[in-house]
Structure 1
Amino acid sequence: MTTQPDSQHTVEKIGGTSMADTESVLNNIFIGKRTGSDLYQRIFVVSAYAGITDKLLRHKKTGEPGVHALFADAESDWAWGDALSKVGADMTRINAEIFGDHADRRTADQFVKERIEGARSCLLDLHRLCSYGHFSLSEHMNTVREMLSALGEAHSAHNTSLLLQQHHVNAIFVDLTNWREDEQVSLDEKISGALAEIDLAATLPIVTGYGHSKDGAIMNYGRGYTEVIFSRVAVLTGAREAIIHKEFHLSSGDPKLIGEDKVRKIGRTNYDVADQLSNMGMEAIHPSAAKGLRQARIPLRIKNTFDPENPGTVISGNYTSEDSRTEMVTGIKSVYALEFFEQDMVRVNGYDSAILEALKHHRLRIITKTSNANTIAHYIEGPLKSVKRATVELGERFESATITVRKVAIVSAIGSDLEVEGLTARAVNCLAAAGVNLLGVHQLIRNVDILFIVAEDDYETAIVALHEELVENTEPVAVDDEQRTTRAA
């Protein structure tokens, strides 16, 4: 890959919801007012169109099974095949919306047919193979999930390269999915090899948001694999800046809950804050992706696809707000508080590690924890059946312990510097005034976040009350200062 001694290029990721609005993406991101050489010195990593990956794997919110889940259940030989055909039909429908009667539509449809039917053939062969007693389908399901995930990312990247070529942009489709390739290499080797011969000054690479590796992208990163691919591309190519285009601004709170007229756009913050947001389920970027950018000292910019003139939010490693303040109020609903009480625990080691082992075994995510002399409480996220199994396992191991589980919510005040005198007292008082029964407060000396444990029914009330007290009732950062710190990133 040809780059300048001091890299001038950016690496940019476009999310699935934005990708679904082709006209806005073309006008606001890919082309806009750019002409000539201004179109280049950028690498794009694109997600599958909104909803496609849910249909290939499993719906993230509803849990409705996709092709992978149906194939894994295998209660009927045709259910997964019908679902795969439906995904193929959805892809060609998207092609029709994008290309209309243009000749590229036939190219796009042929690409979809090759990938869908190739996957079908592979799954049929695997199904036949596993009908023999020597082979187990479960041993291959992770590989199947990787293959199916790649279909959506390849579809959107291939379409994008065709569309840009229509608009006289020298775009190139960079396929990291390992389709019909035998070579098994690491993710970094895959990315470096695919981009090695590309001249960024005259070519616009459109990279698949899925990258195959011998270790497995989903195995390591779950559904956040696209952001990890994006991060590794930025790190390996030495980008001057990484940019994520989302369908919203990174703001001080959820505008749908708090009100668009009350939330404030965040001009700048740091990777520590981004980690806290991720812990609350409000990912600005996947933690593994943030780690790579942070270690390489590459600033990350979050931009709104539909507001291209706004500079967005810059996240860097060494930023701290000039004035101590709360930058965001967010939270997570449907959390399980698992409280382990053992009277004989005092000054005895081993209980905590045993609890952690059980939670890990049942794949429960720990959001936060607290303890005293004889009680350890973990606040966890996961399916109720997994929580119950972990509780039973711990009860069998520690027969004299009392283990209780209740559903709660966590609301968090977050900022790069929360060392504000009286902040915690103000927060507690405002929650009390709003009628919120506070179940617990967690605060570390580092002063990056404060967690408030509340009843699940009080979640929305607590969010609104804390935002009003800690954000709306404080002076906003001056506009010129916010722009200045953004450019300094």
Structure 2
Amino acid sequence: RTVFHMRVVMKFGGGILADAACYARVADVVKQKVTEPWGGDEFVAVVSAAKGVTDRLIAAAKDACKNKGGIAPFLEQLEAEHREMLSLVQSAEHRATAEEQLNRKFERVLHAMTEIADAGQMSPADEDFVDSYGERLSNVVLCAYLRDRDLKSEALDAEDIGMVTNGRFGNALPILPQVRRNLEELVEPGVEDGLIPVITGYYGTNVRGEVTTFGRGGSDYSAAILAACLDADVLEVWKDVEGFMTANPKAVGEDKARKIDRLTYDEAEELSYFGAEILHPRTIDPLRQQQIHCVVKDIRHPEASGTVISEEADQYALVIKSIAVKRGIALITVRGQRPADAPGFAADVFQTMADAHVSIDAIATSQTDISFTINASHLPRACEALEKMEQELVREWYHNDGMALVGVVGTGMRGTPGINWRVFKAVGTAEPPINVEMICQGGSEINISFVVKEDRVQECLKVVHAELFKNEGR
């Protein structure tokens, strides 16, 4: 490729793929990108499932274990909805081709769900297989709309492109060298020839050919993997929001939150881990390794600049970029028989959590205790594991659920005095004052996180945002 040749990966989330009009609008955006001189030269599209479809597939698969009779009506309804999503495709030929492809895919998922019903239980492999079908249906629909706009396009599933993973169900990781080789052989020649592949996000397959998903929201991660392995120049993530915001507008007020023009990779990664519902937390790492820019774009306003994510910090930016919150958190405190800073104690606790497949978000230690936060859904496993720890190691432990983890993020925090004071002064101004259960300063020095009760977190966001961004208008 020449120095002026631009390859663009465009990812479209389920929130903007709700019905026929939504798919038509996305196709119009792609058409505009292809035709405008500055839009790019080669394009790859990555899709999520249509809005709400993955949740419905998960629920239907679980229901199939005890209600075989519900499978056919559910799938008939879902197929009718996807046929309706094709209603604005003008070409009868393109529409018929897509309907035939959908029919074949529905036959396969019917067979899978019937086997689940006959077994009376669903294995992790079964669950991932059924869950992946939202994306498999979505790429067929978008491909039909692109072809309807005279764009050369093909719907490709993860199996077709060689998205090989390490095989862990529900939380897989790609085997990047193998994925790169497969894409060079199976995808890149078509892209170089002007084809726009519409590729399923969210999942890959292990070496045995079994479907393994990347976790909820994993289509962003799929798009980043494709961008990195195809040596793309930019990844565009299209959503129905302006970009990253200084806080969730629904929490602090639509007139208070403001769009962030630029973020560093580190800032975007921290915000994603803290619960900013813009990108999957793993999305950033493949992009950082290849120095690929990511732009979060608003499908409602395609001409808007969105939020640009890259290595470069904005020298004119605010000290604090954003405040994010992760809800549904449990706080665990473990008190040992020996001081918490004694060699090996922390390692024993964290190894116990790892063996129970419990992920830890934030950690704080004192002379006698270790406190850490986890997803509340993992609390039963964590409690069971702690119960089994040897009594000579652990004197007592306790937990509090119904918590939220608040993260304040910005590269400008490095070397800027007074940020922590301003944050906790604001928390103390609430009526009644909000109790902070735990404080953790990030090792990267670009964030501070703290835990509050979930029923006070919206109020907490309002007062902290008002303090940190009080001189910044929209």
The 1:218/1:457 distance shift into structure 2, 3 A limit, reads farther
Alignment of 1:391-406 (within 5 A): 391-399=383-391, 401-406=395-400
Q: 1:231 aligns with which of 221, 224, 232?
A: 224
User: Are 1:168 and 2:168 an aligned pair?
Assistant: no
Amino acid at match of 1:285: L
Q: How far apart in 2 are the matches of 1:331 and 1:23?
A: 34
- Contact residue 320 and residue 416 of structure 1 kept, 8 A: no
Amino acid at match of 2:187: L
Q: 1:247 aligns with which of 229, 240, 243?
A: 240
Residues 333-357 of structure 1: per-residue CA shift (max 9 Å, x gap) = 2311111112423553333233223
- Contact residue 190 and residue 213 of structure 1 kept, 8 A: no
- What corresponds to 1:363 in structure 2? 357
The 1:392/1:100 distance shift into structure 2, 3 A limit, reads same
- What corresponds to 1:50 in structure 2? 51
Residues 268-290 of structure 1: per-residue CA shift (max 9 Å, x gap) = 01111122112212244333331
The 1:191/1:372 distance shift into structure 2, 3 A limit, reads same
Q: How far apart in 2 are the matches of 1:468 and 1:326?
A: 12
- Contact residue 338 and residue 377 of structure 1 kept, 8 A: yes
The 1:449/1:210 distance shift into structure 2, 3 A limit, reads closer
Q: 1:290 aligns with which of 279, 284, 300?
A: 284
Secondary structure of 1:66's counterpart equals helix
Amino acid at match of 1:118: R
Q: How far apart in 2 are the matches of 1:401 and 1:49?
A: 50
User: Are 1:88 and 2:89 an aligned pair?
Assistant: no
- What corresponds to 2:125 in structure 1? 143
- What corresponds to 1:66 in structure 2? 60
- Contact residue 202 and residue 214 of structure 2 kept, 8 A: no
Q: Tell me by how many angstroms 1:222 deviates.
A: 1.4
- What corresponds to 2:35 in structure 1? 35
Residues 147-196 of structure 1: per-residue CA shift (max 9 Å, x gap) = 323422222222222212222222233333349xxxx9954444333213
Amino acid at match of 1:293: L
- What corresponds to 1:421 in structure 2? 417
The 1:191/1:87 distance shift into structure 2, 3 A limit, reads farther
Alignment of 1:144-159 (within 5 A): 144-159=126-141
- What corresponds to 1:381 in structure 2? 375
- What corresponds to 1:107 in structure 2? 97
- What corresponds to 1:11 in structure 2? 9
Q: How far apart in 2 are the matches of 1:455 and 1:122?
A: 42
Q: How far apart in 1 are the matches of 2:424 and 2:105?
A: 56
The 1:83/1:177 distance shift into structure 2, 3 A limit, reads farther
Q: Tell me by how many angstroms 1:111 deviates.
A: 1.8
The 1:269/1:121 distance shift into structure 2, 3 A limit, reads same
TM-score calculated relative to the size of structure 2: 0.85
Amino acid at match of 1:248: V
Q: How far apart in 2 are the matches of 1:396 and 1:146?
A: 31
Residues 245-268 of structure 1: per-residue CA shift (max 9 Å, x gap) = 111121111111112221111110
Unmatched tracts of structure 1, length 5 or more: 58-64, 132-136, 477-489
User: Are 1:432 and 2:428 an aligned pair?
Assistant: yes
Secondary structure of 2:300's counterpart equals coil
Q: Tell me by how many angstroms 1:34 deviates.
A: 5.7
Q: How far apart in 2 are the matches of 1:34 and 1:296?
A: 24
Secondary structure of 1:344's counterpart equals coil
Q: How far apart in 2 are the matches of 1:238 and 1:389?
A: 41
Amino acid at match of 1:31: K
Q: How far apart in 1 are the matches of 2:197 and 2:264?
A: 29
Q: How far apart in 2 are the matches of 1:262 and 1:188?
A: 43
Secondary structure of 2:272's counterpart equals helix
Amino acid at match of 2:410: G
Secondary structure of 1:311's counterpart equals coil
- Contact residue 363 and residue 370 of structure 2 kept, 8 A: yes
Q: How far apart in 1 are the matches of 2:232 and 2:223?
A: 11
Secondary structure of 1:373's counterpart equals coil
Identify the range of structure 1 (442-451 vs 77-86) with the bigger mean alpha-carbon deviation. 77-86
The 1:100/1:5 distance shift into structure 2, 3 A limit, reads closer
Q: How far apart in 2 are the matches of 1:109 and 1:208?
A: 17
Q: How far apart in 2 are the matches of 1:449 and 1:254?
A: 17
User: Are 1:194 and 2:186 an aligned pair?
Assistant: yes
Q: How far apart in 2 are the matches of 1:219 and 1:353?
A: 30
Q: Tell me by how many angstroms 1:33 deviates.
A: 7.7
Q: How far apart in 1 are the matches of 2:252 and 2:100?
A: 46
- Contact residue 30 and residue 39 of structure 1 kept, 8 A: no
The 1:112/1:201 distance shift into structure 2, 3 A limit, reads closer
> How many equivalent pairs are there?
450
Q: 1:214 aligns with which of 202, 206, 219?
A: 206
Secondary structure of 1:31's counterpart equals helix
Q: How far apart in 1 are the matches of 2:223 and 2:199?
A: 9
- What corresponds to 1:485 in structure 2? none
- What corresponds to 1:462 in structure 2? 460
- Contact residue 204 and residue 211 of structure 2 kept, 8 A: no
The 1:346/1:173 distance shift into structure 2, 3 A limit, reads closer
Amino acid at match of 1:120: L
- What corresponds to 2:172 in structure 1? none
Secondary structure of 1:116's counterpart equals helix
Q: How far apart in 1 are the matches of 2:437 and 2:194?
A: 59
- Contact residue 39 and residue 204 of structure 1 kept, 8 A: no
Q: How far apart in 1 are the matches of 2:33 and 2:295?
A: 20
Q: How far apart in 2 are the matches of 1:314 and 1:198?
A: 28
- Contact residue 274 and residue 326 of structure 2 kept, 8 A: yes
- Contact residue 395 and residue 401 of structure 1 kept, 8 A: no
Amino acid at match of 1:423: I
Residues 24-53 of structure 1: per-residue CA shift (max 9 Å, x gap) = 3234x2124863876852221122211112
The 1:92/1:369 distance shift into structure 2, 3 A limit, reads same
Amino acid at match of 1:30: V
Secondary structure of 2:400's counterpart equals strand
The 1:430/1:350 distance shift into structure 2, 3 A limit, reads same
Q: How far apart in 1 are the matches of 2:248 and 2:340?
A: 42
Amino acid at match of 2:376: G
Amino acid at match of 1:151: Y
Q: How far apart in 1 are the matches of 2:202 and 2:157?
A: 9
